[in-house]
Every structure is written in C-alpha cells, then in structure tokens.
Structure 1
Amino acid sequence: MSTDHQKYSTENQKDAIAAYAARHNLTIVRTYEDAGRSGLRIEGRDALKQLLEDVRNRHADYTVILVYDVSRWGRFPDADESAYYEYSCKEAGIQVRYCVEQFENDGSLSSTIIKSMKRAMAGEYSRELSAKVFAGQCRLIGLGFRQGGSPGYGLRRQLIDEHRVPKADLSRGEYKSLQTDRVILKPGPLHEVGVVQRIYRCFVLQLKTEVEIAAMLNVEGIPNEFGRPWTRGTIHQILTNEKYVGNNIYNRVSFKLKQKRVINPPEMWVRADHVFDAVIDSDFFLAAKRIIDERSKRLTDEEMLERLTSLLKQKGHLSGLVIDEGDEMPSSSVYRTRFGSLVRAYQLVGYDPGRDYQYIETNRALRTMFPEVLEKTLAGIREGGGTVEFDELTDILRINGEFTASIVIARCLHTQAGFLRWKLRLDTSLRPDITIAIRMDGENKDILDYYLLPSIDMSTDRLRLAEENGIYLDAYRFDDLDTFFGLSARNELGVAA
C-alpha cells in the first residue's frame, strides 16, 4: 500500500486474505508486507523482493501465495512486469491465488484476459492519478504554497491555515497534519538572513568566488544549515535559488511515475513570483545570475571539456561534488545542461565513474562527519550534567569515570538484489562498554538511526545489519541519542535527615 487511509490498507488486506484462507482450509505461515510504499516500481519494495528471492532460491516454506487483488503486485507502467513476477512464482511450483477477484486464477483464457486488463488498468490508474496530482501541485505553486523540500539556509517553513493565518513554524521532520493547512517560506533567524545577504554582497560587490566565500565562513566558524562546513556547492546553491527573492518554482526536474529523471527547460517550469518574503533584493539576485551566466557562456563545449579533463588529471576521478568544489570550474548543473547529463560529459573525456569512486567520495564524507558527531555527543553528555574525557589516541570516551563508549559510523551498502546492508567492525581489543553504531541512510548523506550496543551482548568483532534485524539487535535501535544521554546524566540528590 502507498497510504494507510484507503481500502488497500494492510489491515483490510490481511482480513480479506485471512478470510479467504479460512474458507479454503489454508494456513498462513508467512506475510510479506510493503507498508507505505509506492507500487510504481519494485525499488523500495523490500518485502516483494524478499518474496521473489525466497521463491527463486527455493527457500519458500509454502505452496500457495495469497494476493489481495491483481494490482497488489504493483501499478507498473508496463503491465508485463507484474505478469513476470507472478510467472516467477508459478515457475517455482508455487500457486498464486487472488482473494477478492471475481475469477479463479486457473490459467483459463477468461482469467488470462481479465488479469491482463486489470494489470493495464492498474498502470492507467497511476498515470491518471499522476496527472491529477501534478495539476493540483501546479495550482498550489501558483497560489504561493511550498511543495516539500528543505527550506534552505536563512529560510524557515511556516504553517498557515486556509485563511493564510500563520499557525506555527515547522522544524525539520515536522509536517502539516490538516488537509486544509498549507506551508509557505519565511525568512529565518536574523543571523542566518545576515549571512545570506553577506554571501551575495561578497559575490556581487567584492567579486569573491564561491570557494573564497565558503573558506571565509568556515574560518569564522559559521556552519551551514546542517551544522557542517560550507562548500563551493552550498554557496552556489544559495546564489542560484530564486526562493531567496520570494519566487516559488516547480517542475524544474520531472520524475513522473518514478521512471526517468528529466531536467526540464525553463519554459516548462511552473512559477509564482514574489509570493514569499524576500531575503535578497531582486537586483542582487539578478546581478549574481549575470555573473554566473557570463562565467559559463564564455566557455565553449570544447573549453568546458578541457577543464573537465584537467580536473580529472588533477583529482584522479570525477563526481558532481568534485566539479562543484573545483576552482574556476563551471558547476555540475551547467555540465548537465550543456551535455545532457554528467555521465555523458564523463564519456566525452574518457572517464568511467564506476562504483569505486563513489565509495571513495562516501568514505571521505563520513570521515568529515565524525568530528561533528563526536562534538554533538560530548555536548549532549555535558548538558545532562555528566563528565566525559575523550582519548584522541583510541577514540574512546570515558563517561563520569564509570563506563566507556566508542562511536562507529556505518556506511550503507546496496546489494545486487536491491537490499540495504551495513557492516560494523567492533573494537574488541579496547572493549568499550557501549558502542554507538550510527547507520547512514541509503544515499549515505544523513543519519538513519543509532544502535547502542553493549559489549556484554556482543560476542563478535564484526556485525552485519539489515533493514530489520529482529528483537535481538533492534532492541538496541534508537532514532536519536537521548537514551544514551540519559545514561550519562547526573541528578542532584536531596539531603536526607
């Protein structure tokens, strides 16, 4: 199911399947459930992938698969995809039955025709729904309402009611709960607004480059919106995003039906100008745009490729991040626009990106993240009244002189079957009392969750985590470090008579 307020809620499906099983004297031994997942493609459908893997590898401990209806395989744009998955089950000798369909899935001509029609109808439903949703989003954009995404440095999301009366500011991870409420952008804290304005002044008036501005802010100890150091890319994003002048832009990139990501030309953009309170004067923004455009227009395709070749020789590899951080380089978005995609630009300079370079970039980012995580952990312990000592030689934390802890950041790995895995190496030589294992998300950009692993329960120096690990390990899983900070906290006791 994709949402839980429809007839396809998992509970309704389970009840219908259970009733069917009871009527046909079948015992349900296993349930594969993809809750809150889109059926447009198999990516993200971990339960369906697991079912197909169990079936193909002959690990299935059942002889019949019960499916609510034909559309539960997915509303794929290509109807043959769901037919292929059903056939894979039949090929392994497992029967597929549909619990609420008005036909028997017996391979007869009538059932084959009806199934084909229903599969095509499921895909058509997605196409029609996509068109309706897109039209609704375009209308909301025109009315000046924000449609998802991080607000960005110097801005905040504000919740308003149907009369445009402000209700509250939304923090990261908070969303509107009423259908009639909307979200707009507003200027953030004054010190952030001042930094954004200063970035524009430095770029337009002092003619500083993005690299120089980023270095200046980092030297002054001013973090970006995620609490991390500034980079050329993050400065460039502020200088090119029209939300800072109050414009609402949509449809710059299309990803309809989750098929192919397309960068749309400006004439296809949906926009509403001056619908938010501006952080930057339009004159400053236009001046910055002219500088950036002129910087790119001066270069021919051959010159851009020459610079890319030179950067490749200098760095040994290429990525969007490497390009954005390069001095005197057009941004990665300019390369995408000029050559259609970064991969195409790579091909023209004879570079194969490969997965190894992505691995290097990820590891470099994780190494940069460790000091930030460490600092936040130390601060959280001290805020709770605890004391902590950090050994720079062993990276071990000694808390309140009572127990030790270490921090491990686990990068996310993608298996060939599309599953997510995390590998942990526990320090068995120093044997910290608690290992704080931080799992990164699927893109290795943000923290997914935390595991507080006590050494008394860990008998191995290597641990492999899946998305779901059972109660033995997931009992130690937390969304934040508040529980750990609670262990470190100190409370003052009253005087007893």
Structure 2
Amino acid sequence: MPPMRAAQYVRMSRDSQRYSIANQAEVIAAYARDRNITIVCTYADEGLSGLAIHWRDGLKALIADVESGHAEFDCVLVYDVTRWGRFQNLDESACYEFMCQRAGITVHYCADEFENDGSLASFMLKNNKRFNAADFSRQLSKKVFLGQSRVTRMGYWRGGMPGYGLRRQLLDETGVVRTTLEYGQKKYLQTDRIKIVHGPDREIETVRRIFTSFVSEGKYLGEIASELNAEQIRTTRGLRWNGETVGKILGNEAYIGSLIYNRSSYKLKQRRVVNPRDMWIRHDEAFPPVIAPELFTKAQEMMRTRRQQRTDQEAIDRLAALGREKGHLTTAIIAAADDILSAESYRRRFGSLVAAYELAGYQPEPRQRLAETADKYRTFLARLAGNIVEQVNRLGGRAIIESDGLLCLNDDCRISFGSARAVNYVSDKVRWRIHADRKAKSDLSLIVRMDASNIGIVAYYLLPTADLAETKVRVLRLSNPVFAQACRYDDLEALCRVCAG
C-alpha cells in the first residue's frame, strides 16, 4: 500500500519555546514515520496569534488549496489542537476542520492523546481541547489586563511614546534610572519600569503655547498649526502640524500629570470598544504637570462647546460668508479665519471639502479641486504612515518618519507612499489610477488601493520604487504588469508584521 501524502501545518505565536516550529515539525515527522505517511508540503504561520484566521496566511492558503479540489495531499498533520487555533468561537475551529473532511482530507493532531477518528470519544476530547485552548487566551488576556492596570495605578507608564514634549525614563527594579528611551525603543527586562518625564524645553514651551493660543487667545486648531509650521516647528516624528495633531495635544491628560489606561478595549483581537469613563484606570499626579489643570479643563470645555454649537447649516453658512468676503476659498484661508470649523472638520462632516464648497455655493476651479484632493490624500497618507510607525514599533521593529516624509525601517529601508484611486468611466467600469512619485528617493513604494468609493483601503501593494520608475506610461493604473509582481497585503496588521521583521 503506497504511503499517504500529507501537508503539515505549523504555527508559533509567543506562547512557549516548546511550540517552536522546529519542535512541532520534529513531533509531526515522528508521527508520520510511525504511520507510513509522507509529508509533501508545509503551511506555516510564524509569530502569529491563533485567535483568528484573517492574519494567518498559512492556514488560509491551506484551506484555499483544500477548497480548490486540487490539493496534492490526503491528510493534514498538526502538532495539537492549540496550533490549529485558539478560536474564541469553537464552531469556527470545527468549521475549518470540516472543510477538510468534506474534501476527503483528514486532520491529525499528532501530540494529542486521542485519534481524530470521528468517534464520540474523540469528538468529546477534541471539543474539550478546543475549549481549553480558547480559555487559555481568555485567562491570559485577563492577567495582562490586571497587570497593566496595576502598573498604571503604581504611577508607571505602559506603551509607546506618551506625547509631544514628554519622554519615557527607564528604571530598574530598585528605581535606579537606566536611560531615557528613544522613539521605538523598549524596556530591557520584565522587571524594569517606565516613568514619564518632561522632554526638551522647546517642546514643553510649544505645548504651553498651544494651550495658551487656544484658551486665552481663542485661536482655532488650524490657525495654531499654521503658525507652528510657519516657524518650522515640527512634531516628534518630524511632521508638519495640522488641526488634528493640535487637537490631540489639547485632549491629552498626560499634560496635567495623569496616566490613563483602558480608555478602549481590543481584547482577544475582537472589535475595538470605547469604554465609559468609569471603566478607565487612572493615576493622577503621576509626574509634574506641563500645564495647570485649570487651563486643561478650560480647553476641554471650549472644545466641547465648539463641537456642539454649530449645526451643519450654520457651518455651511459661515463657509459661504467667508467665501464672499475673500472672493475664493482655500484650506489656508479657512485655517486663518476666525469662528469657523477646520478644513478637516468640513471634510468629515460633508465627505470632502469640495462637497462643502458646493453646498456653500462656491465652485472651485478645476486646478483647485485637484489641489484640494491632493491635500486630502497627503493628510490621509501621513496619518497612515503614523499608524504604521506605531504598530511596527509595538511589534518590536524600529520605524520612524524622516524629515522628508519617508518611512524609515530599521535605519535601513526607506518607503514612500502613494495611492490607487478609483475612477468611474462612462461604461460604469471602475479602474484604479496610481498617484505616486515614481522618482521618489526611496527603496520601496507602498501603494494603498482605495475602494470603489475612495473612502476605505482595500489592499496594500509594496514594490521597489525602481520598478515604478521604469514604467513608461503617462497614466499608471493598478492593472499595469508591475503590480503583478508586487507584494500584496489585505490588512494593515499583516503589512506591519512584515515591516517589523
């Protein structure tokens, strides 16, 4: 009888060294040898959580091959039930195994103490294993939450950079200062602690200036940002200021010496939930404040008032009045004007700045429409770059935004950003046109593909900038062969894991 042909599936998160890929493969190989099974291919997910499938390319590829009907194997060998996954819904774990069984492919759990032969006993043991695998993640999540809450109550910082003008100081277990952590750096040992200290004097003065400009002088967020940019003052990441970044400064309670944890929850990789204030874990007066608490409270009151006091119609009427006064409208004019929403607020309320212009009775010139769109995507991509930096550093990599706006990974690889935007043609056919600097001084280009309405991101394409430079067409589209060779990622987390190395 010829030997059965098998695919092996291996996965390692960070649970334990005993679950290393090499250890799993060794146990699986011994199991296959004892049963006259030949391993013909391997599907692997390294360094990935088993809570869900959407970031596990190895398991997705295995299921896709099984579903295609062209799989070149008769069974799947897995170390144990936990490696298949720690799905919080036990039916999801069973579903993927059923897909294999439906295609005539059996799943073997090589290190578990039961044969997965379809008997009642194996069914009960397997479901018990699935429950224990899911419960392990729930209990671990609970322990992490309790530990992080305790650290916050003790007055220590947890997480990445605390905000502009603040720095993280690393202490050993006896409280002796080790060093000041730079952007992207982490603590050395589990027993180390981090406290917040004031950063450079020039940044502290900028924070105080922002609060004074807003509260005492009544300036708007965009106006404050324009002033800072005019003086060549940059954010911690070297970026230009905008209304949103100024707003984050004004809303950050760290500037009055308060540490807050559990504002939102993202437990077990499920949907992020914003928690009510009574669920927050906080420690006030954890370190000297940058500004007076009374000034911070006044800023919050003013922001709430500004958000609530204008209806959509009032916002449009004010924009129309500004257009009549100036003769035309631009983001710079809006930023410099008093008693008006920021350009970003108009975009959020009405879908785009051009849409707000039209409601206000102002028809921008075609060139201005292009400029407004370019500015919108420039802001959008800058925000995306910031999110990538945050996630890559959280995953253990090193990422910064350089002064020219390029993303730098591990002090080595530089990445520029572009977009693939949907264009609707008369035939109702949608095509994606590339907007990117093909001559950017970067190693790689990251092109984000927007959805058909140009609102959300569908996918991320990473390819050498040199390949873009070699394209000769005037209008570059996503259908160009150069993108067939690009690395595609369907979600931001998968991309950031690759960037983190």
TM-score normalised according to structure 2 size: 0.67
Distance 1:425 1:61, change over 3 A: farther
Greater RCO (Cα-Cα under 8 Å, separation 6 or more)? 2
Query: What are the superposed Cα offsets for residues 222-247 of structure 1, whole Å, 9 maximum, x if unpaired?
Result: 12222221111110110011111211
**Retained in 1: the 8 A contact 2:463–2:487?**
no
Q: Is the 8 A contact 1:424 1:462 kept in 2?
A: no
Count of aligned positions: 395
The residue matched to 1:113 in structure 2 has which SS? helix
The 5-angstrom pairing of residues 457-496 of structure 1 reads 462-463=482-483, 464-466=485-487
User: Could you say if the C-alpha distance between residues 368 and 57 of structure 1 is closer, same or farther in structure 2, counting changes exceeding 3 Å?
Assistant: same
- Structure 1 position 62 matched with structure 2 position 73: yes
Within 5 Å, give how 1:152-171 maps onto structure 2.
Answer: 152-171=163-182
- Please tell me whether the aligned partners of residues 159 and 167 of structure 1 are also in contact (alpha carbons under 8 angstroms): yes
> How well do the aligned residues superpose, as a CA RMSD in angstroms?
4.5
Given the alignment, which residue of 235, 244, 249 partners 1:233? Answer: 244
Superposed counterparts of 1:197-236, under 5 Å: 197-236=208-247
Q: Which amino acid aligns with 1:294?
A: T
Partners of 1:245 and 1:278 within 8 A in 2: yes
**1:295 equivalent in structure 2:** 306
Q: Following the alignment from structure 2 to structure 1, what is the Cα–Cα distance between the partners of residues 77 and 83?
A: 11
- Partners of 2:343 and 2:269 in 1: CA distance: 26
Identity %: 40
In 2, Cα distance between equivalents of 1:160 and 1:60:
54
The offset of 1:294, in angstroms, is 3.3
Q: How does 1:343-382 map to 2 (within 5 A)?
A: 362=377, 365-366=380-381, 375=404
The reply to whether residue 262 of structure 1 matches residue 273 of structure 2 is yes
Which segment drifts farther, 191-200 or 456-465?
456-465
User: In structure 2, do the counterparts of structure 1 residues 364 and 178 end up closer, same or farther at CA, with 3 Å as the change threshold?
Assistant: closer
State the distance in 1 between where 2:417 and 2:470 align: 20
1:409 is the counterpart of 2:417:
yes
For the residues of structure 1 that align with 2:77 and 2:374, how far apart are their CA atoms? 41
**Residues 1:438 and 2:445 are matched in the alignment:** yes
Q: How many angstroms does 1:93 deviate by?
A: 2.0
- Correspondence list, 1:64-213, <5 A: 64-213=75-224
Please list every run of 5 or more consecutive structure 2 residues that lacks an aligned counterpart in the other structure: 1-11, 321-334, 352-372, 386-400, 407-413, 422-431, 450-455, 473-479, 490-497
Q: 1:51 aligns with which of 57, 62, 68?
A: 62
1:50: Cα distance to partner? 1.6
2:197 is paired with a residue whose SS is strand
Post-superposition shift, 1:307? 6.4
Which residue is equivalent to 2:365? Answer: none
- Secondary structure of the structure 1 residue equivalent to 2:446: strand
**Structure 2 match to 1:244:** 255
Q: 1:188 to 1:373 in 2, by over 3 A?
A: closer
Q: Which amino acid aligns with 1:120?
A: F
Partner deviation per Cα, 1:221-279 (whole Å, 9 max, x = no partner) = 21222222111111011001111121110111111222222111111110001112322
Unmatched 5+ stretches in structure 1: 314-324, 337-341, 343-357, 378-405, 414-421, 469-476, 481-497
CA apart distance, 1:38: 1.6
SS at match of 2:235: coil
Residues 1:30 and 2:41 aligned together: yes
Using the alignment, how far apart are the partners of 1:295 and 1:426 within structure 2? 37
Q: In terms of mean alpha carbon deviation, does 457-466 or 187-196 score higher? A: 457-466
TM-score (structure 1 length as normaliser): 0.68
